[in-house]
Structure 1
Amino acid sequence: MTTRIHLHLVSDSTGETLEMIAKAALAQFENADVVRHFWPMVRSRQHLDRIMPDLAADAGLVLYTLVNPETRERLEERCRALGLSAVPVLDGVTSALETALGQEAHGKPGRQHLMDKAYFERVEAIQFTIAHDDGVGWEDWEEADIVLAGVSRSSKTPTSIYLANRGYKVANIPLVVESPPPKSLFELKMPLVVGLTSAPERLVQIRRNRLLSLNEGTTTDYVDHERVREEIAFARRLFADKGWPVIDVTRRSIEETAAAIIKLLGERSRRASDGQFEGLKPI
């Protein structure tokens, strides 16, 4: 039986963190009919008072990330009066960190979005990644943190963009049997080169859907099963010859693939600091 609930997400910043927490929690429930109401940048009692009638009209669960004590207290009071459950989703983590670090949290909204050095490095990473998509700009690949290689439609570009948003400079190159990659790919020293692969059946399905979305025919080698198997075999031989780590993206989301790559990057960094330079195992 499906139960509909209204979920109010109240944040004093962009609400990105709160939205991700809510999404992760909701993923644990099946057949949940949840109507989300998003209330970002709530930084004053006046703003809070303006949205309370909407919370009352669609009564449900309130999740919030508010650091201002007066605004928090006001929300909690109004929710109690309306009989609404209000949950401060970051309080437990913040409290534990205060104890571990021996200091109090700053209590300032949006601190994770400050335009500090890390922010500008992330912007630079995004610009680099966009400029080095699909084999472009191979002369600068040595400046990358990560280089992704794989056959067409193996999730190289979306994975690159996701990693760029995490602050990593990423280049990617499609592997084509008839067109060998530039020699510089095999001479890279600094970037972590990762091979992406997929099951032939899944790749054919993705390519076929792509062609259909472009109103193009599907009677082509691009979606021929035998041809696709040859492409994947070619890419796998290349990965094996160079000793590059390989990630099978067949049943992985972009986020899961990116997490695996970040883990590989961390492992390589730890091995380098220990003086170990052996290849990384496929994932």
Structure 2
Amino acid sequence: MGKTRNFFHLHMVSDSTGETLMTVARAATAQYEDVQAIEHVYPLVRSTRQLDHALDEIEHAPGIILYTLVDPELAGRLEQAARAAGVPCVNILSPVFAVFQSYLNVRLTGRIGGQHALDADYFHRIEALNFTMLHDDGQIPDNLDEADVVLLGVSRTSKTPTCIYLANRGIKAANIPIVPDIPLPRQLGELRRAMVVAVVASVERIQQVRQNRILTLNAGGFENETYVDRRVIAREIAVTRKICAEHGWPLIDVTRRSIEETAAEIMSLYRAHKSALANGGAA
């Protein structure tokens, strides 16, 4: 028998997109076994009317309230309503603001959605995302050296979502599939700036993901039988390891890694790669 899950209502009230709240809430919830949050997200709450809508929902389904509201009047109303309902209410950025203000001795500006400003960093991320989408799955190999990272790997090792995550961090990432008996683009041997890294997973993991993919597509046939054959997958993995050993490219095992963890490892490698280039070392 499966364990019984305990459900609770989790209300997230934000004057911006709510992404910060959701990230913090899910990171916290993940630390508790057999607990599942029923999420209620209220983004772009910037008026009394919008806050009233959130308060009505909270009244009908009481639970923990997390919020990021810059407007002190709206924050005060939310706190007051929480006290009246007898539910916890936390401004998740308040302790961070306090530390910054104390250490830096600067005044809080109270900019709503400041992290989403249309500044140079924002447009750099958009440029990286456009590049990544154009260079997905081995497309347009001619200008690979314009990439920051070139990600290699066999089918179903999460190359595309990893590259998209990197692009959202401002890193131009191209990905190229590794297929035995099909040579890699010659441009890989001509790179001077881009960093090449490969990903690999266990036979069991790749087989499972590929089987799920086939079921999703409702596809069958001999070609798909080969696609999920353990011996074929094992050969693909062996080829990947051999290629990386021959070229000295780093190899990351993503069997038990999330996309975020894989991307974090790649970003760490890329920082070292950039530092080596800046110091005139080998790329």
Give the alignment's TM-score, normalised by structure 1: 0.92
CA distance in 2, matches of 1:240, 1:101: 48
CA distance in 2, matches of 1:75, 1:209: 44
- Residue by residue, what CA displacement relative to the aligned partner does 1:202-257 show, whole Å, maximum 9, x if unpaired? 21222222223222226432222222211111111111111111100111111111
Matches within 5 A, 1:87-236: 87-217=90-220, 219=222, 220-236=225-241
Question: Match of 2:252?
Answer: 247
Q: Give the direction of change, closer, same or farther, for the CA distance of 1:177–1:51 in structure 2 (3 Å limit).
A: closer
Question: Match of 1:237?
Answer: 242
CA distance in 1, matches of 2:212, 2:167: 26
CA distance in 2, matches of 1:227, 1:16: 41
Of 37, 41, 44, the residue aligned with 1:38 is: 41
Question: Match of 1:281?
Answer: none
Counterpart amino acid of residue 228 in structure 2: V
Cα RMSD between the aligned structures? Answer: 1.7
Counterpart amino acid of residue 244 in structure 2: F
Give the alignment's TM-score, normalised by structure 2: 0.92
CA distance in 1, matches of 2:276, 2:101: 32
Tell me the CA shift for residue 2 of structure 1: 4.5
Of 203-212 and 163-172, deviating more is 203-212
Question: Match of 2:65?
Answer: 62
SS in 2 for 1:47: helix
CA distance in 2, matches of 1:149, 1:71: 49
Tell me the CA shift for residue 271 of structure 1: 4.0
Counterpart amino acid of residue 100 in structure 1: Y
Q: Give the direction of change, closer, same or farther, for the CA distance of 1:225–1:72 in structure 2 (3 Å limit).
A: same
CA distance in 2, matches of 1:10, 1:148: 38
Question: Match of 2:75?
Answer: 72
Counterpart amino acid of residue 210 in structure 1: R
SS in 2 for 1:134: helix
Tell me the CA shift for residue 173 of structure 1: 0.5
Tell me the CA shift for residue 42 of structure 1: 1.1
Tell me the CA shift for residue 47 of structure 1: 2.4
Counterpart amino acid of residue 31 in structure 1: D
Of 190-199 and 45-54, deviating more is 45-54
SS in 1 for 2:44: coil
CA distance in 1, matches of 2:143, 2:266: 20
Structure 1 vs Structure 2: percent identity of aligned residues?
Answer: 47
